[in-house]
Amino acid sequence: MILASVPDLRAAAKKRLPRFLFEYIDGGSYAEATLRRNVADLAELPLRQRVLRDVSALDLSTELFGQKSALPLALAPIGLAGLNARRGECQAVRAAEKAGVPFTLSTVGACTIGEVAAAASKPFWFQLYMIRDRAFMKDLLAKARAAGCSTLVFTVDMPVPGARYRDYHTGLAGSGGLKGAVWRAAQAAMRPGWAWDVGLNGRPHTLGNVAPVLQGKTGIEDFFAWMRHNFDPSINWRDLDFIRAEWDGPLVIKGILDPEDAKEAAELGADGLVVSNHGGRQLDGVLSSARALPPIAEAVGDRLTVLADGGIRSGLDVVRMLALGAKGVLLGRAWAWALGAAGEAGVTRMLAIIEAEMRIAMALTGCTRIADIDRSILATTPGLAAP
């Protein structure tokens, strides 16, 4: 297969990955209505084509939290993504560095902070969940500082994991012990390429950063049971004081969908936020990121850096998110599919595709710089108004 688009990378990942891993990346919660809306609402947003604008010189670079970025995007944190290829987060961070964009390591990634730091030559971002054991959180933040992580992404929309039915169907959730292990092993055996590259030669198969608190288990036996027992549903805005006391670098709050919550984040001194519904993986039926973004950008865009994720499947979608008010985007499923399809080379290919598609979208809307992209490049059509 010629990998010409992000959907091509998804199809290739589906052929290579065991079912439990592919469905974990691909799925959403409940009936997956928000997952579909994230994609559909962006795709249906019309762009305003302009001509004779001299777009011979395009500059796609920007600055995110004091770092120069070749593109207005970062690779989002994704739990378990490192199992998509051998020591996958290490491969992904190398691809991100080559493309000149930030990589974000998840708390529940397969590789540890130290392992990713050894593979990286530049600072990367670290994502943190609120865990019941505050001493362990302090230790994680200390490790992130020691590794030179430049930005902390604090995810706030997961006090409890959403109901993701696909993961029950594949045995990733609700099937701990021997039964679940046999079920997943059978799925892996049907993907011999992955089984050899990752299953046999990509060990250890653990949630690397949280391995010290797993008491000898990997966390994969019943991933969601571990999250239910260890994530803290008592989290509230006052907990940002704890985070700020332990982290003096840029702080980004991920999982904001409401302007009032965005104002709270700004009042408490966050440097940025991510307009996100967790890729449709938490509360189904909420607004798509594209619909939630404009009022949030209007409310706090002059006080902190507004990023967005959810439903981005092309460079055109990146441009659409910027037009709606984001200063940058996080790519999630796109890089996880790419990693599953072809490892580091797949992520490199995905980023090249996104850049090429952005260049076309900018040229045909008359934008030569990222700063030129705003709501003026959105068209309106009968029955479909630009937000």
Amino acid of residue 167: D
Which residues have C-beta within 8 Å of that of residue 254, sequence separation ≥ 6?
127, 153, 154, 155, 156, 157, 273, 274, 276, 330
Question: Do the beta carbons of residue 317 and residue 43 sit within 8 Å?
Answer: yes
Which residues have C-beta within 8 Å of that of residue 299, sequence separation ≥ 6?
259, 262, 263
Which residues have C-beta within 8 Å of that of residue 80, sequence separation ≥ 6?
21, 24, 108, 109, 110, 207, 220, 223
Q: How distant is the alpha carbon of residue 378 from its chain centre?
A: 25
Catalytic residue of the set 169, 205, 229, 278: 278
Q: Which of 243, 248, 256, 359 is nearest to 304 (CA)?
A: 256
Distance CA 63, CA 369 (A): 12
Distance CA 295, CA 289 (A): 11
Amino acid of residue 10: R
229 is annotated as an active-site residue:
no
Q: Could you tell me the sign of the dihedral formed by the alpha carbons of 8, 13, 19, 20, in that order?
A: negative
Burial of residue 146 (CB within 10 Å: 0-12, 13-18, 19+) is: exposed
For 369, the 3-state DSSP assignment is: strand
- Catalytic residue list: 278
